[in-house]
Chain A
Amino acid sequence: MADEPLGSSFRDPSGFVFERDGILHRQVNPRYAPDYDHLVESGLYRELTERNLLIPHEEARGEPASRGEAHRILRPERVDFVSYPYEWSFSQLQDAALATLQVQQLALRFDMTLKDASAYNVQFHRGRPLWIDTLSFERYREGSPWVGYRQFCQHFLAPLALMAYRDVRLSSLLRVHLDGIPLDLARSLLPARAWLNVHLFLHIRMHAGYQQRYRSDTDAAAKVRPLSKSAHANLIRALESAVKRLRWRADGTEWADYAAGVSYAPASHEHKQRLVSQHLDTLAPGRVWDLGANTGEFSRIASERGIQTISFDKDPACIDRSYRRARDTGESKLLPLVLDLTNPSPALGWAHAERASLADRASADALLALALVHHLAIGNNVPLPQVASFFADLAEGLIVEFVPKSDPRVQTMLATREDVFPDYSRNGFEAAFATRFTLEDATPLVGSERVVYRMRRR
């Protein structure tokens, strides 16, 4: 069937997302009708969408159900690129957490509450995090505690605390634990000084203890105390200050000062900027992926032209810096994401279909691969034809820079190892890429031995 539910859309019986004729639809099942109607009629939907906290949708009247009966079929606005929490930097996860709490605060005001608090329900859309699951709202029942509290702590607070107090690379745990980092694991990984932070002591350490204590208690339901609405609001406020208080300084990572470090003459740099601009104008892509983007300097040449641009780098410090700059200056076309190209995000979750791999999620019209190929070919021993193949699978257009062995960067990489790369030369590079691409332009950078190419997939 053409409109099967998406692989990630099976948990909530309230409805599901499916694609029909290339358009995203969301079916609202009859059992969710009272909650959906309250969301719309109470004015909460309007308030949330006006504040850019919820993805807007239109009701597709007359559109047939995908399966069973439907209360409504919705056509949500499509997010430019679906990214996952394990691809976000510290500030991105922090902003996503705060957006979630804002959504819950507003929901309470309209007598509704979030019935889940999964970080996968947040996406970056036009530069800002917003909630994308329209069916996450249910009518608030007086006295009911927050159902999403456990998920919020596991999806947001625990990873943020681990990044801030232990090591920023621990965000990768989110790739293993799709329902957020188990709190007992967070408790055992956090250093003792984390417990001086009263928020972390309560929401992580004590929380983990409570979970353990009541896990096998069949009588636990009777021990749940009702939570008044104002107490509920206090809980959300406490979580908000817990999240806001966490800080991570982007110092000491591998690349944070790369752009500032001596690399090549300013004249070459300016020449490279000019070439990238010209090649972008020639290729005229709608979507650009900048691979190994550092802090996104060249990505911005694309995004400032109005091109939807994703800026990938494996360094969380670079991405954090780039994101904060984009956020603070209101850039809406640029999305920086943490990604190690030598091990890109795989397909994950139930039946390998809940979270799509990078290659399955989307593709670009053009790639920027500047000062990158030597990291893949020499740093990770990937043969050049395979690098070409990987690029060709991702996009049609390619702006790529070749950095020869004589370059100081490559010299450093080869200083302590055997040179097992006889084909790593300008000729070898062109021969390898010519199998998948037409080489349209090759311009040596002024004052450097590097060459910038414009290519198009065959």
Chain B
Amino acid sequence: MPRCRRPLVLALALVASTGLAASAATLDATALRLAYVDPGAGSFILQALVAMIAGAVVALNAYWKRIVKFFRPAQMPAHDERASHDEKGARRNDG
């Protein structure tokens, strides 16, 4: 099942990297001074928090999808798709 695991792994990696970055030492202050328009100190500081929340949401979404997938009867959409395709084909033959 590598296909369904991919979003989870991706999400975990995202969260981990966000967390790692946030726990590391603060950024070299020159980054703030290199911008030609004022990026805003508050806007700079907030980003770590926003990115972390976004990462968590991505992870939760992936978990949620996995749970839904677990309880949902398997392969329904593929079956539906084939059915409608067949129907179209049949109609074409009629025409």
Contacts and interface: CB of A to CB of B under 8 A. Distances in A.
Interface stretch (B1-9, B13-21, B71-79, B85-93): B13-21
Contacts of A150: 38-40, 43
Contacts of A144: 27, 31
Given A231-B18, A234-B54, A221 B29 contact: yes
A143 B27 contact: yes
B41 A217 contact: yes
B44 A228 contact: no
Contacts of A226: 21, 24-27, 48
Contacts of B57: 238
B84 interface: no
B41 A220 contact: yes
How many of chain A's residues touch chain B, expressed as a range? 35 or more
Given A145-B31, A151-B37, A215-B41, A223 B54 contact: no
Nearest to B56: A234
A237 B32 contact: no
Contacts of B33: 221
B58 A234 contact: yes
Given A141-B31, A143-B31, A223-B26, A231 B48 contact: yes
Contact of B42 (A211, A230, A233): A211
A8 B40 CA distance: 22
A261 to B, nearest CB: 41
Contact of B22 (A213, A225, A234): A225
B43 A207 contact: yes
Contact of A143 (B21, B36, B50, B58): B21
Contacts of B41: 211, 214-215, 217, 220-221, 223-224
Contacts of B47: 145-146, 149, 225, 227, 235
Given A220-B41, A226-B24, A207 B46 contact: yes
Contact of A214 (B17, B28, B42, B50): B42
A402 to B, nearest CB: 50
Given A145-B48, A147-B39, A206-B46, A230 B29 contact: no
A140 to B, nearest CB: 11
B17 to A, nearest CB: 4
A222 B35 contact: no
Contacts of B46: 149, 202, 206-207, 210
Of listed A146, A148, A220, A226, residue having the most chain B CB within 10 A = A226
Contacts of B14: 230-231, 233-234
A57 to B, nearest CB: 21
Contacts of B44: 145, 149, 220, 224
Contact of A221 (B32, B37, B48, B58): B32
A115 interface: yes
Contact of A238 (B24, B37, B48, B50): B50
B42 A210 contact: yes
A230 B36 CA distance: 24
Given A231-B18, A234-B54, A225 B26 contact: yes
A202 B42 contact: no
A181 to B, nearest CB: 14
B77 to A, nearest CB: 23
Interface string A392-416: 0000000000000000000000000
Interface of B: 13-14, 17-18, 20-22, 24-29, 31-33, 35-55, 57-58
Given A202-B46, A230-B18, 10 more contacts: A143-B27, A144-B31, A145-B39, A210-B43, A221-B29, A221-B33, A225-B27, A227-B21, A230-B14, A231-B14
22 contacts: A14-B36, A143-B24, A149-B39, A202-B46, A202-B53, A207-B43, A209-B42, A211-B40, A215-B42, A217-B41, A220-B44, A221-B32, A224-B31, A229-B17, A230-B17, A230-B18, A231-B51, A231-B55, A234-B51, A234-B58, A238-B51, A238-B53
